Amino acid sequence: MTRCHRSVPTAGRLTVSVLAAGAFFFAATPATRAQEGQRPGALESGAGVGDRSFAAEAASGGMLEVRLGQHVAENGKHEDVRSFARRMVKDHGSANQGLEAAAQQQNLTLPTKMSEEHEQRWERLSKLRGEELDRAYMREMVQDHRKDVEAFRAQTKAAQASDRSPIDAWAQKTLPTLEHHLEDAQRVAKQVGGDLPDPAARSGE
């Protein structure tokens, strides 16, 4: 999943064809929204700065999730890893379509290319094959889905029910899927040696 205060190009509108090309999601926090002078879920003739930043990062991350999933499904070694990757293609492809629809309701233009950081991560993992790819991919999935879940929770909590934008509603709908992804990623990562220590467990020591 990535750091949130990145500037993401917003040229072009995300189309269904982008989904086949290849998210890690990340978002602006409620504190960031306050600094930007935008109320949660605010709509101008399109969307508030917070929604715009969140949607741009989510779109870039969604492209990466699909692209990586396709690569791992074809080049990974362990069946559990390849199965997880296929699920990422399916679930994030569907989530990307939902994000596009929400963005259209807010007159938001989404990026059609991944951010520079996501491109770099793709370049690194796309060179790997077999067990090395399995470990690296699952390590990324655990790390990024932890960030995803935190970011999506922040996005949904930032908006009041009466003030919720289409992007907020999409984030709330997508959050349970990301939580399930994290659980599965941690399980599969342990099987292939790509697991990471749980920060919550460390903080409780």
- Cα gap 65→145, rounded to integer Å: 11
pLDDT mean over 19-33: 40
Q: Mind listing the pLDDT tens digit for each residue in 121-132?
A: 999 999 999 999
Q: What is the CATH number of the domain that holds 100?
A: 1.20.1260.10
CA dihedral 180, 66, 99, 39 (to 10 degrees): 70
For residue 121, the enclosing domain spans 16-197
Say whether pLDDT at 24 is over 70: no
Asked if residue 11 belongs to a domain, the reply is: no
- The Cβ of residue 111 has, within 10 Å, a number of other Cβ atoms equal to 21
Structure tokens at 12: 């072009």
Among the ranges given (64-78, 134-148, 151-165), the one the predictor scored with the smallest mean pLDDT: 151-165
- Looking up tokens 């599969």, which residue turns up? 188
Residue 113 forms part of a structural domain: yes
**Residue 76 — φ and ψ, nearest 5°?**
-75, 165
CA 124 to chain CA mean position, Å: 18
**In the predicted model, is pLDDT for residue 3 greater than 50?**
no
Cβ neighbours of residue 10 closer than 8 Å, sequence gap 6 or more: 52, 56, 109, 110, 111
How confident is the prediction for the chain on average, in pLDDT? 79
The reply to whether 120 falls in a domain is yes
Count how many domains the chain has.
Answer: 1
73-104 burial, b if ≥16 CB within 10 A, otherwise e?
Answer: bebbebebbbebbebbbebbbebbebbbebbe
pLDDT reading at 176 higher than 50: yes
Cα 166 to Cα 168: distance, rounded to the nearest angstrom: 5
Q: Report the pLDDT value the prediction gives residue 157, as an integer from 0 to 100.
A: 85
Average of pLDDT values for 176-200? 87
Could you give the CA distance from residue 48 to residue 20 in angstroms, rounded to a whole number? 29
pTM: 0.73
Per the domain annotation, does 47 fall within a domain? yes
Query: Which 3 state secondary structure label does DSSP give 176?
Result: helix
Mean pLDDT check: name the lowest of 16-30, 78-92, 100-114: 16-30
Of 155, 150, 145, which Cα lies nearest the Cα of 180? Answer: 145
Residue 72 in this model has a pLDDT that exceeds 80: yes
